């Protein structure tokens, strides 16, 4: 899907559709965010500046903030950011499609996390977003991306279908834009360090 079609889908999404655990209960939904924040804290430097791109209504960003991280909530959907601000209005928010994150922030950040965003986009859109997120991270900073690899990668053809990538596709992008893959066992997401491109 294109960036604009994903934004439209999120702007129209019912809060109950944000994450599968919300269908179980609100407590399960919040617990899933706390658990993911705890996993992220195993690799994020203590107290660093973190941008949660695709923050939704704050399921992960709010627990990270409570853990002492300086969190900026970023999303491409104004409706998601409104829901975020209803839950936690003390955090800075940024409306961005990811491609212009550095411009919207006005500075580099220590880390960007992006969970359950790239899976919804086409290869072209996903690559543009990754490039934008990389630009927003300082040298030696971290990107933690839900960027799934598959033996038989395929581009998702709709809102529910997940786009998967080959390791070779990812390695080519990383080499070109300056990302070094880190080996972080136990995490369900890929972790990259921002390095010099090429």
> Quick check: 6 pLDDT over 80?
no
Distance of CA 52 to the CA centre of its chain: 6
- Phi and psi at residue 180, in whole multiples of 5°? -115, 120
Per DSSP bridges, beta strands 179-182 and 190-194 are antiparallel
Residue 186: other Cβ atoms inside 10 A: 7
Residues 67-75, mean pLDDT to the nearest whole number: 97
- The fold of the 3-194 domain, in CATH, is Rossmann fold (3.40.50)
pLDDT digit string, tens, across residues 47-58: 999 999 999 889
Q: What is the pLDDT of residue 120?
A: 81
Could you give the CA distance from residue 74 to residue 52 in angstroms, rounded to a whole number? 6
The mean predicted confidence, pLDDT, of the chain is 88
3-state secondary structure of 191: strand
pLDDT band at 27 (very low <50, low <70, confident <90, very high): confident
Domain spans in the chain, listed from the N-terminal domain onward: 3-194
User: What whole-number percentage of the chain has pLDDT above 70?
Assistant: 84
- Which residue is associated with the tokens 């704050």? 58
Show Cβ contacts of residue 3 under 8 Å, excluding neighbours closer than 6 positions. 76, 97, 98, 99, 121, 125, 128, 129
Q: For residues 113 and 130, is the Cβ–Cβ distance under 8 A?
A: no
DSSP assignments along 39-107, one per residue: HHTTTSPTT-EEEEET-TTTTTHHHHHHTT-EEEEEES-HHHHHHHHHH-TTS-EEE--STTHHHHHSS
> Quick check: 20 pLDDT over 70?
no
Q: What is the pLDDT of residue 32?
A: 83
């Amino acid at each position: 899907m294109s960036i604009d079609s994903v934004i439209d889908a999120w702007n129209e999404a019912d809060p109950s559709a944000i994450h599968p655990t919300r269908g179980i209960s609100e407590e399960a939904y919040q617990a899933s965010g706390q658990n993911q924040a705890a996993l992220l804290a195993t690799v994020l430097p203590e107290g660093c500046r973190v941008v949660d791109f695709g923050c939704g209504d704050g399921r992960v960003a709010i627990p990270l903030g409570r853990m002492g991280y300086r969190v900026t909530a970023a999303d491409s959907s104004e409706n998601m950011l409104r829901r975020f601000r209803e839950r936690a209005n003390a955090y800075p928010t940024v409306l961005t499609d990811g491609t212009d994150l550095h411009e919207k922030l006005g500075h580099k950040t220590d880390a960007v996390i992006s969970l359950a965003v790239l899976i919804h986009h086409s290869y072209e859109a996903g690559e543009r977003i990754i490039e934008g997120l990389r630009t927003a991270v300082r040298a030696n900073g971290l990107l933690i991306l839900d960027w799934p690899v598959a033996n038989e990668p395929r581009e998702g053809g709709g809102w529910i279908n997940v786009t998967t990538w080959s390791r070779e596709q990812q390695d080519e992008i990383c080499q070109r834009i300056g990302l070094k893959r880190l080996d972080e066992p136990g995490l369900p997401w890929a972790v990259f360090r921002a390095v010099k491109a090429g």
